[in-house]
Amino acid sequence: LSTYFKYPADIRRVIYTTNAIEAVHRQFRKLTQDQGRLSQR
């Protein structure tokens, strides 16, 4: 965590935004994979 704060504020904002986008994509992937498993039954 301390490494994160060593970056300038602009860079930290980009890192935070990227992580948020990745989290949304991860949830979307999880949902779509679960639906694929259910439809195969």
Tell me the per-residue pLDDT of 1-41, one tens digit each, with 9 for 90 and over.
788 889 999 999 988 888 888 999 999 998 888 766 666 55
User: Which amino acid type is present at position 6?
Assistant: K
Distances (CA, A) of 10 to 13, 14, 16, 28, 36: 5, 7, 10, 27, 39
The per-residue pLDDT for 37 is: 62
Q: How high is the pLDDT of residue 6?
A: 93
Identify the pLDDT of residue 10. 94
Looking up tokens 């301390």 gives 2
Residue 9 pLDDT: 93
pTM: 0.53
SS3 32: helix
